[in-house]
């Protein structure tokens, strides 16, 4: 049953139809065998009764013609020769016993009596006495064949029992078995033809039923919010499949409307967030700039001998704040306009090590499994990914007693893996879902655009970036680029 659930709908319809034919074949074959056996059993029971009745009639006729008294003591003399005549006429062998179960006479000749019991079992006598019909049939199996033996009282003219007639009967089922085998052989041929027809029919029916479903499945698999999705058009489909297609087409219409609304909402939200970030970042240098100008205006004295020095300090302060705002503008520009990829075949190990050379921190360490890992990447963008991740790690370890940053490069199948691990403060669960969003960082400086830019670069190369972090223990960022 579990295996059937794993099959496709088409396969399940196909298998179910074949199983129905096979089950029907087995049931009909079973009923046929049962019916033949019942007919055979009834035939042998009726034949035994007829033979028994004929022998009893023959015995009654002998009683009428005999000159001996019809008593138990004279049964042997009465049937001295007559028993053989009756056996020849009826073409069966039978035995005559007295009321105590002792053998009086058998239709078999003397040299054949070895197989005949000289005395009946007490069980046979008791059962014969207990039956109202004064008849008992014993059923046994001998040499693989069914064997029956009937025991009936022999009555005199006054219906008084004077003896017991025993009629052995071996069931000959060879003819019935031969007929059954022939019938089953023909039935097997018919069902093989039916099975072949059922397989062909099941194939086309399952294909017809699942054709529309497969079309819907393929279209649903191609559904994408970022592009226009095609509707499904199926001719002459007014059944449940047609209703499903209509529902799918309706869903596509609603999805397109939702996608337009979602895109508009996301754009508006992104611009609002960006405007807030730009305003916040510009206010940071403007406030000290304003205070510096106000202080200079209030305290500046042109006649002061140090006036020239103070003007230079004032100018230097203004330039620093202006540079800060310029850096802010450059950062947002770099995030919004990623340079075009200039792919080249390069040694990732060498480029990553080169990117680390700009850092002077002695707690930054670099390891690589191989001296050379070749991939097709943009040198500048690879360096930007590494430097941004390392800067992020440096900002996470200022309060750590023994800071440590480990940058590693390794080959992993068809990808190259770059990891940047630190033992810094970690990332709280509240920020893990938003860490790659272009928003302000939780750190005291920076604009939170670095990781967003890194994610954009990585995804442009069909790569992946993820991280693991524990508060107070550190963070590990892992980037994977395809080599080709």
State residue 5's pLDDT score: 59
State residue 226's pLDDT score: 57
State residue 111's pLDDT score: 45
State residue 283's pLDDT score: 63
Nearest Cα to Cα of residue 392 among 408, 407, 377, 409? 407
Domains in the chain: ranges and CATH: 2-177 (3.30.450.20), 240-336 (1.10.287), 344-482 (3.30.565.10)
Nearest Cα to Cα of residue 96 among 171, 164, 34, 12? 164
Q: Coil, helix or strand for 301? A: coil
With tokens 């499994």, the residue in question is 369
Q: State the first-to-last Cα distance of the chain, in angstroms, to the nearest integer.
A: 44
Give the count of alpha carbons within 13 A of 22, CB side only. Answer: 7
Q: Coil, helix or strand for 283? A: helix
CA-CA distance, 86 to 97, in Å (whole number)?
A: 16
What residues have CB less than 8 Å from 330, skipping those under 6 apart?
Answer: none
Per-residue pLDDT of the chain (484 residues; tens, 9 = 90+): 555 556 676 677 778 878 888 888 888 888 888 888 888 888 888 888 888 899 989 988 888 888 888 888 888 898 888 888 888 888 888 999 988 888 888 888 764 455 566 788 888 888 888 877 678 888 877 666 677 888 999 888 888 898 999 988 877 777 777 877 888 888 888 888 888 888 888 778 777 766 766 676 676 666 665 566 676 666 655 566 667 777 777 777 777 777 667 766 766 675 666 666 666 566 656 666 676 677 767 776 777 777 777 777 777 767 766 766 666 666 565 555 555 567 788 999 999 998 888 888 889 999 998 989 999 988 888 888 898 899 888 888 887 888 999 999 999 989 999 999 999 888 888 777 777 776 534 444 443 457 877 888 888 888 999 999 888 889 999 999 998 7
Q: Coil, helix or strand for 141? A: strand
CA-CA distance, 481 to 375, in Å (whole number)?
A: 8
Helix (H) or strand (E) holding 324: helix 307-336
Nearest Cα to Cα of residue 478 among 412, 381, 404? 412
Cα radius of gyration rounded to whole Å, the chain: 53
Residue 298 has a CB neighbour count (10 Å cut-off) of: 7
Dihedral in degrees, nearest 10, Cα atoms 458, 459, 463, 466 = 70
């Amino acid at each position: 049953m579990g295996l059937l659930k794993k099959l496709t709908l088409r396969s399940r319809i196909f298998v179910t139809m074949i199983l129905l034919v096979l089950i029907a074949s087995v049931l009909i074959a079973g009923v046929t065998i049962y019916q033949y056996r019942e007919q055979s059993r009834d035939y042998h029971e009726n034949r035994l009764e007829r033979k028994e009745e004929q022998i009893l009639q023959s015995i009654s006729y002998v009683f009428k013609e005999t000159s001996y008294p019809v008593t138990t003591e004279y049964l042997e003399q009465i049937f001295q020769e007559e028993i053989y005549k009756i056996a020849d006429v009826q073409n069966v062998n039978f035995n005559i016993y007295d009321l105590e179960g002792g053998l009086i006479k058998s239709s078999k000749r003397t040299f054949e009596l070895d197989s005949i019991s000289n005395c009946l079992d007490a069980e046979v006598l008791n059962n014969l006495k207990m039956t109202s019909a004064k008849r008992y049939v014993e059923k046994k199996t001998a040499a693989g064949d069914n064997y029956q033996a009937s025991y009936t009282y022999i009555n005199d003219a006054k219906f008084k029992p004077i003896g017991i007639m025993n009629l052995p009967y071996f069931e000959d089922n060879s003819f019935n078995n031969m007929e059954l085998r022939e019938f089953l052989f023909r039935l097997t041929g018919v069902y093989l033809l039916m099975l072949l027809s059922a397989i062909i029919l099941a194939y086309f029916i399952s294909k017809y039923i699942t054709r529309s479903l497969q079309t819907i499945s393929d279209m649903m698999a191609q559904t994408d919010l970022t592009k226009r999705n095609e509707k499904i058009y199926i001719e002459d489909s007014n059944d449940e499949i047609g209703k499903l297609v209509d529902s799918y087409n309706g869903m596509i219409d609603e999805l397109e409307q939702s996608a337009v609304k979602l895109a508009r909402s996301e754009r508006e939200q992104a611009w609002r967030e960006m405007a807030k970030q730009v305003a916040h970042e510009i206010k940071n240098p403007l406030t000290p700039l304003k205070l510096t100008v106000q202080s200079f205006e209030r305290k500046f004295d042109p006649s002061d001998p140090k006036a020239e020095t103070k003007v230079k300090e004032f100018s230097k302060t203004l330039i620093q704040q202006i540079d800060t705002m310029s850096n802010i503008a450059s950062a947002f520009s770099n995030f919004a306009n990623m340079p075009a990829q200039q792919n080249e075949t390069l040694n990732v190990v060498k480029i990553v090590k080169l990117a680390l050379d700009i850092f002077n921190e002695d707690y930054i360490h670099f390891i690589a499994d191989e001296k050379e890992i070749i991939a097709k990447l943009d040198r500048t963008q690879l360096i930007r990914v590494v430097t941004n991740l390392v800067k992020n790690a440096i900002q996470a370890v200022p309060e750590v007693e023994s800071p440590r940053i480990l940058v590693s490069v390794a080959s992993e199948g068809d990808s190259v893996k770059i990891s940047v691990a630190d033992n810094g403060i970690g990332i709280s669960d509240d920020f893990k879902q938003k860490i790659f969003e272009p928003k302000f960082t939780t750190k005291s400086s920076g604009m939170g655009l670095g990781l967003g830019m890194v994610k954009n670069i990585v995804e442009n190369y069909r790569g992946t970036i993820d991280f693991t972090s524990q508060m107070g223990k550190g963070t590990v960022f892992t980037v994977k680029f395809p080599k080709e």
